[in-house]
Amino acid sequence: MKRVVLMIIASWWIYSGAHSQGLIVNGKSVEIFISGLVHNQTNKPVIVFENGRGTTFDYWEKVISEVSKESAVFAYNRPRIGKSEDDSIPPSMKHIVDNLRIMLKEKGLNPPYLLVGHSFGACYIRSFASYYPNEVAGLIFVDPHDFTQRVGYGRLPYREIGLTEQQIDSIFASYKYYGEQFLLNGPKYHVEEVKIAGELAETGHEECYRNPLPNIPVHFIMAGGFTPYNEEPPFTTWDREKMFRINSNIQMKRWLELLYPLKYGRFFYDSNSGHAIQIDNPDLVIVSIKMALSDYNRMNRQN
């Protein structure tokens, strides 16, 4: 079994009135952010934030500023992102989840955890709950990467918009070409996570559902604001907003089906926010977190 070594870096800096610091994991510095430690109490959920692909914890600033008034909060930047060093290890679900657990316990932040994941970060927190369901108090998926998508599902919106199988084959071949070019020329911090996203998709996101969702508060927050790209790929010939709506409806149906069996499942839809809901409408994410904490406490009282 791999031996993990941790130590705290001596340098500290101030971020929004709380401590941001470096933590050494396997010889490499990971940039972490902790706030609200005065609220770190036994059996009280710690709020843990997982960033979107290639993004930093700055995206959560307004949310953290509010929720840390009543709860202990932990955020960090995965390897190669922000001030976190390159650990030369692919950011697989298991690697990131286990590193996160190690860092939390090193800082005295023990389970249960309310995990909040944006975009691709949703895959990581879903995998966390899949590997360690007994450590999770709740899950909040903020406009998530669709970890419910199984192999072949990606073709569904193209069929619904009216494209033939031959046209879809051509489109996917173009996607593959542009993806390969990005992997050759893109920044490493982004490329490594794109590779993992591709590998995860090839398995139908298997690591994200190896165990069913625990019967805990689970929220989906969906962005409904359509934002067109400035530069359209040459193979885009359809109505992009119509495709966005079709794909959103397909995803929504699958996400709601996950919530149906749960006692504290909730779904939020924001027609004005773009993908970064925590920036466009931080109040919605804050409300979701507070509701999840309230429901978790209610659930414990009932048990």
Burial of 48 (0-12, 13-18, 19+ CB in 10 A): buried
Give domain status of residue 11, yes or no: no
Tens digit of pLDDT per residue, the chain (303 long)?
Answer: 333 333 333 333 333 445 568 999 988 999 999 999 999 999 999 999 999 999 999 999 999 999 999 999 999 999 999 999 999 999 999 999 999 999 999 999 999 999 999 999 999 999 999 999 999 999 999 999 999 999 999 999 999 999 999 999 999 998 899 899 999 999 998 999 999 999 999 999 999 988 999 999 999 999 999 987 654 555 567 889 999 999 999 999 999 999 999 999 999 999 999 999 999 999 999 999 999 999 999 999 987
Residue 18 is predicted with a pLDDT of 55
DSSP letter assigned to residue 108: T
Query: Does residue 21 fall inside a structural domain?
Result: no
pLDDT score for 7? 35
pLDDT for the residue numbered 16: 41
Domain count along the chain: 1
Q: Residue 5: its pLDDT value, please?
A: 37
DSSP state of 149: P
- pLDDT computed for residue 26 by the predictor: 83
> Which pLDDT belongs to residue 234?
53
- The pLDDT of residue 232 is 52
Domain contains 233 = yes
Is residue 5 in a domain? no
In a domain, 46, yes or no: yes
Whole-number CA gyration radius for the chain: 19
Kindly state whether residue 75 falls inside one of the protein's structural domains: no
Give domain status of residue 31, yes or no.
no
Which residues neighbour 285 within 8 Å (Cβ) at sequence distance 6 or greater?
63, 116, 140, 142, 221, 277, 278
The domain containing residue 170 runs over which residues?
A: 38-64+99-302
- Find the CATH number of the domain harbouring 125: 3.40.50.1820
Question: How does DSSP classify residue 81?
Answer: S
What span, in angstroms and rounded, lies between the C-alpha atoms of 70 and 32? 19
Listed in sequence order, the residues at least 6 apart from 93 whose beta carbon sits closer than 8 Å to its beta carbon are: 123, 124, 127, 196, 200, 207, 208
Find the helix or strand (DSSP H, E) in which 48 lies: strand 46-50
Residue 115's pLDDT is what? 98
Q: pTM score, two decimals?
A: 0.91
Q: What pLDDT score does 155 carry?
A: 95
Would 69 be classed as within a structural domain? no
Choose among 177, 24, 215: nearest CA to 103.
24
Amino acid letter, residue 236: T
